[in-house]
Structure formats: structure tokens, C-alpha cells
Amino acid sequence: MSGAPTLPSLFQQRVVVGVGDLAVSNNANVNISTFALGSCVGIIVYDAAVKVGGLIHIMLPDSTLSPDKAQKQPAMFADTGLPLMHRQLCGMRAERARMRAFVAGGASVISGSDMFKIGERNIVAVKKLIGTLGIRVVKADVGGVNNRTIHLNVGTGEVTLKTPLGTSKLSLA
């Protein structure tokens, strides 16, 4: 029977978060994923006590660029998206003191002006907001010249990080 799916894997569901989107869940069978984080930043927040997790894929740091867009798609921007995900997690009985976060993305070009360093500006904005919200960051894998893909297993709090150079795992539980 090698290669046959295990019983738990039959019930696993994948939720894919696109650019400028977020998802939260308390369903232990859900895996939340986002792909192609370049200069964008992905933030996974998890509360192990209630097995609630969320993932957001922000593209730009500051919603003042386009208030209309921020209203329609708040997860596009760090300053409107992160507080929204925090509220949604709290709505599922997660508590700030128990939340643990993983941050990934923020790739930047090798050389160029600040105008082209959106990745660095995203990282600065995310770190500031996470600090304001009082969430503990367990690990950050940011910068560099490669895209990243991240997954959260809501049932276990396990995070998987994939880049063209390899795969690594860590636990937010």
C-alpha cells in the first residue's frame, strides 16, 4: 500500500491566498498557502491554544496610495490588511498574547533607488505594524533575490517555506 493516501490526508483542504488577499481558519484540516512572494510579504499568525491561524499576502506598505483600492481590497496594503487579519483571528477566539507569527518575502532588486525597493519598504511597514499589534514574531525569512512560497497547517501550526533553493519547516505551536 505504499503511496496510498493516509486517512487524515483525505480530509485535508487547501486554501490558496492570492496577492492582496488573506484567509483565517480554525478548521484543523485546512492548509493555507500563498505562492510567489517576491517583494510582497506574507505573514502567518497562529494561536496554538485554539488552533486558529491566518495568512495574509500584502503587496504594498501604505494604503494612502489608493484609498479606494484599500476599501475594496484591504489585504493589499500592510496598514489596512494586518489589523483586519488580527480582528478576524480575534473573532475566532485567538488571543494576542498567544499569537505567534512567521514573516516571509520582501525580496529586493540588487541595485536601484528606494522607488524600486518595495520589498524593503514592505518589511519595514510589516515589522512596525506587528510591533504595534504586539504579536511575537518567531522567525522572519526576508530579503534576498528569490521568490518564496509558504504554507500553514492549521491543525498543527506547522509552517513550510519553499524557495527555488530548498524547503524548510518550523512550528508556530
Partner 1 sequence: MTIEELIKNTESLPPAPEVLPKLIKIMKDPDTDSNDVVQLIATDPAITSGVLRLSNSGAYSPPSPVTDLNEAVAMLGIKEVYRIVNLVSSGDYLDGALPSMDIGKGSLWQHSLAVALIMDQIGKTHTDMEGLPYTLGLLHDIGKLGLHLGCGEEYVNVFKKVETERLSVCKAEEKTFGFDHAVAGSKMLEEWSFPDYVHQPIRYQYEPMNAPEEHRALAGALHVANWGAAVIGCNDGRDAWALEMVEGAFAIEQKELELGILRAQESLEKAKKALAVGAN
Catalytic residues: 40
We find the least distance from the C-beta atom of residue 112 to partner 1, in angstroms, to be 3
Residue among 113, 111, 86 nearest 99 (CA): 86
Residue ranges in contact with partner 1 by CB under 8 A: 18-20, 35-40, 59-60, 65-66, 69, 76, 107-113, 115-116, 118-119, 144-147, 164-165
Q: Which residues contact 164 (CB under 8 A, 6 or more apart)?
A: 146, 147
Cα–Cα distance measured from residue 82 to residue 10, given in angstroms and rounded to the nearest whole number: 32
We find the least distance from the C-beta atom of residue 78 to partner 1, in angstroms, to be 14
Query: Which residue lies nearer to partner 1 by CB, 51 or 57?
Result: 57
Instruction: Decide: helix, strand or coil at residue 154.
Output: coil
Query: Which residue lies nearer to partner 1 by CB, 132 or 168?
Result: 168
The helix (run of H) or strand (run of E) holding residue 71 is: helix 67-72
We find the least distance from the C-beta atom of residue 171 to partner 1, in angstroms, to be 27
Neighbours of 89 (CB within 10 A): 24
Query: Which residue lies nearer to partner 1 by CB, 38 or 83?
Result: 38
Single-letter residue type at 141: D
